Amino acid sequence: MKVKLRRAVVACAALVVATPAIAGAEGAKRHGVQVAIDEARATVSQMALRSELIFKLLRDARQARDGRSAPCLDDALSQAHAVERNGEDEALAIERAAKIGDDHALQWRGQRLKVLAKHSEDLLAEAKHCGKRR
């Protein structure tokens, strides 16, 4: 009888010790997921800012009646808007994956968003050179 009681006490003690560790791991995972969601939103915001900068360059080129820069900037802005829309879709997919706990989708969508963000950066860099001789 004492052996069974001792085993039960040890099992309860192990459960009490393990429960905070499990709760801590789940809390850390939730925190990591929230960080991924926040980073996705911030990335999309940065992409929107790049689109806005390209728009301003286009507006200035049109006001200056720059026939060389305006078409190039118009094309860059169209591409930037498309990349931004795709980024918004990926950010929403990241939020959905986080809600259901799909770590694989979360990582995959995060990588796709990084590629789109890089493309957005490249489009802004190209837009700054529109109409200029290289």
* Mean pLDDT per 10-residue interval, the chain, length 134 residues: 47 44 52 85 97 97 93 97 98 94 93 98 96 72
Amino acid at 113: L
What is the reported pTM? 0.75
Q: From CA 13, how far away is CA 59, in angstroms rounded?
A: 69
Give me the pLDDT at residue 114, please: 97
Give me the pLDDT at residue 33, please: 79
Characterize 103-126 residue by residue with b for buried, 16 or more Cβ atoms within 10 angstroms of its Cβ, and e for exposed: eeebeebbebbeebbebbeebbeb
8-state DSSP, 66: -
Give me the pLDDT at residue 24, please: 52
Tokens 């003690």, residue located: 13
Q: Could you report the per-residue pLDDT of 71-86, keeping only the tens digit for each? A: 999 999 999 999 999 9
